[in-house]
C-alpha cells in the first residue's frame, strides 16, 4: 500500500518537472521569435536597428523575471 503511494507521488513529481522544463524551453523559443518579429517591425517602420534591438531586449528581461519568479516560488520554504 505504501509503495503505491510513493510511486504515485514520484510519477506526479516527474510530470511536474517535465511540464516546467517544457514550459521553460517553449517560453525561451517564443520570446526569441517575438523579439525578432518586434525588431523586424520596428526597422520596417524606420527605426534604427540598434535602437530596435535595445527596445526588444525588454522581452528577454521580462522572460527572465518570469522564470526567476517561478524558480523562487518553487524553492522558497
Report, as ranges of residue numbers, the positions in the chain whose pLDDT lies below 50. Answer: none
Q: Which of 75, 34, 73 is nearest to 56 (CA)?
A: 34
pLDDT digits (tens, 9 = 90+) for 47-63: 999 999 999 998 889 88
Q: Count CA atoms closer than 13 A to 33's CA, side-chain side.
A: 6
User: pTM value?
Assistant: 0.66
| Number of separate domains in the chain | 1
- What pLDDT is attached to residue 1? 64
- What pLDDT is attached to residue 45? 93
Q: If you write DSSP's letter for every residue of 38-56 in order, what string do you get?
A: HHHHHHHTT--HHHHHHHH
Q: Which domain holds residue 31?
A: 2-75
Calpha distance 18→22 (Å, rounded): 6
Amino acid at each position: 500500500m505504501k509503495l503505491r503511494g510513493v510511486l504515485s507521488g514520484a510519477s506526479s513529481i516527474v510530470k511536474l518537472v517535465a511540464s516546467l522544463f517544457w514550459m521553460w524551453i517553449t517560453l525561451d523559443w517564443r520570446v526569441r521569435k517575438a523579439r525578432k518579429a518586434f525588431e523586424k517591425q520596428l526597422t520596417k517602420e524606420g527605426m534604427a536597428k540598434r535602437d530596435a534591438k535595445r527596445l526588444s531586449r525588454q522581452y528577454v528581461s521580462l522572460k527572465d523575471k518570469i522564470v526567476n519568479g517561478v524558480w523562487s516560488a518553487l524553492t522558497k520554504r
